[in-house]
Structure 1
Amino acid sequence: MIITDKIRCGWCHSSDLYMKYHDEEWGVPVYDDTTLFEFLLLETFQAGLSWITILNKRENFYNAFDAFDYKKIAQYSDDKIQELLQDAGIIRNKLKVYSAVTNAQNFITIQEEFGSFSQYIWAFVNHTPVNNSPRNLKEVPATTPLSDAISKDLKKRGFKFVGSTVMYAFMQATGMINDHVENCWKRNS
């Protein structure tokens, strides 16, 4: 049950689902490769859309993309891709669906090079979450030099839909960056 009288970041008040995501996931450090891939896939599909749109379809994405099993996704056939493009439960953007396969393949390549995707991605913040101290939502940036650098490196490695804004949102979602505003109950929890 969501406690609605808590002070939260202003972006999450439009639905119980949004508040639950804020309270239980957003900004919590993630080190598990499967969960990191889930957020990478969801964030790439979110590009140009609202996050609540993706949250509302998250279970559909889970089912459509084999529980975010990047090893399976990396092997998707054209038939499977066509099936996904017909699935009204997800975002049926052809370029994004194809990028999910490409990104899964590149994700595995990074694992082979670094031992895990977690080792690779967390090295950008010296394996320690960056604690920003925004007083309000206006002080939370959409991009930073760090998200620019991660985006550039991922693109160099062949990833798609990983622009700086997407990567900043990914860092926030996976707890690499703590952008809870100063009066939010999750700020220091």
Structure 2
Amino acid sequence: MIQYLMAMYDMTKEQARIKVSQDLKGGKIESVQKEQEYLESFSYTEEEQPTTFQAHRYLVKERKLPNRIVKKFIENGLIRESVYQEVIFKWKKNQCVVGYSKQGTVKLTKEQQKRYRTERTYFKYIAPTTEEDTYGGFNYLVGQPKNIYFFESAIDLLSYYTLYESELHSIGDFWLVSYEGLGAGKKNC
């Protein structure tokens, strides 16, 4: 419950602990409502490296994705690398970037974990976007979307595609969609 409050309502561990403690004293837990804020329009302004060396290395060596799959997504412009050596997963709709998420490629130090208020090993960020596009995420479409598959994260999507690539292409007309865009108000985690 504490982790949930921290993630969903941008609370510190102490704030979440106090909230749970207060709610339990009265015998019931009241919901905490946080108003979701959306951008009027999205503009992709992330600074990218001219190469994707670190992003590619992380996805292949650390996440064990096949080199050819990572290259395919890089060549399709869906994966890039930020100037801070983070993997950028671009959310595209009709060939336009409508959002993105980032995954760190270097483990966070204890100081960084404290600063970001996270126990995660790697930096993760979901950029704010418009209300219309917030329910999408990193995605890969082949043909018409007759067969749709949903995933929790971009890495899950890539892993699934790795395992079932030939089956997906033999079926045809598929759309892989990561729903990381639904997370915690699009803040650093």
Query: TM-score normalized by structure 2?
Result: 0.27
Q: Which structure is higher in RCO with an 8 Å CA cutoff and minimum separation 6?
A: 1
Larger Rg: 1 or 2?
2
More strand, by proportion:
2
Greater helix proportion: 1
